Structure 1
């Protein structure tokens, strides 16, 4: 049983990537899902994962799902993001994250890898990022042997219509000439597998994860070349965010005036030589995802 990793959010971007990377490196994966009949859950089962029905809001189901596992990959939904229920709150995220951490303690797991967000503990005032810093601290207070992975903006967001990219047009709050760091979901999974495989190096670490740094203008140009079609970029003005809530305005300030993210990409590539640039990701995965999403 000591080679089993339980993966929460296993049908999502990060959990799914972690599950696939762990399977590829020889780990057994127990994929925790709410609906084992979903297409993503069935795909994980076909890839070799043990798919188990579990709900992060149900401690009894978590306790049963984590029984006998070596490690846990923990990721929760984020308030306000596409795919998260519209009534989902920060308190919901905190409750789910605490439930997973407490269940991991109860199961006496040996390694807890938590998927946070880059700059979670910085002075930006973005509440739905600060919640992740709270969950990082909670896992440590419980005494869990923890690795924290802090990814920046997902490359997947750049081809997802729900994030403002549709029919050759891309919109975001970032000024056209401000650098933005990006990470592929696949590479988040790769770092999760590295952490579980080498606990002596990774337990106790907090890693800011990025694979590329580009301006929005450069992102549009790279997409044009990869997709073979014009891509235009429009910066969303601050005035358009005034009715979108505190986090939207705080995110605008962080991206454009707060310095943004600062993951050490060369150092990360030394640990994981296959770390993808945005152009590489488009070639391997992104162009296909873009075509499927349009």
Structure 2
């Protein structure tokens, strides 16, 4: 593989190498996910001087569940250590605005890198591997831009091109199953009763599955890119080989020891033995 192909470990957040960017740059509102309001650009009250979180081990019990389901896909350390060369916003206040503006751009790009890296590992997508690799290398190149270049980037246009390629990848992989699959792309399935449903190879891209009951459902090979799984019940569900499922999506859902996960993803610590 070319040197520009990112290691999957580089696409996971490394808080120890980041200047607490998600704790400062991003806003959040008091809700079931966050205990308080915080505007963009203001440090969270739990952010320590060493850029660590003072309640990291107790986020859920302190009302900050939203923090536990967030992942920057490695953008925090990229912006902190590469884009700004290890210079932090506390020591150099002039860096605050450009650093906080660069962070969400790089985060979006790193999310795309994660999907493209996964797509390149799919043998069924071999006919698209050349295009996928080109897209991956271009996306990685964009992440290495200067703060000025990142600010000027037409992120929406780049995302649109990559998303179209990922959709072609999904269709190719799912069609290899040789069976008609369900299309629930962008569907409103909030609270849906899908216990035990056969959703093998289904298109669930961007579907709203908030609080849906997917207990025991067969989701093998389903495309879950962008699906909202907040509070969805995945107890006993089979997610083996599902496409573009992320760790944050799993953290937002409920599952149990019987939930089968794709390779590379881990069972969230808050999942109970019964998925409740």
Question: Taking structure 1 as the reference length, what is the TM-score of the superposition?
Answer: 0.26
Q: Which has the higher strand share?
A: 1
Q: Which has the higher helix share?
A: 1
Question: Taking structure 2 as the reference length, what is the TM-score of the superposition?
Answer: 0.28
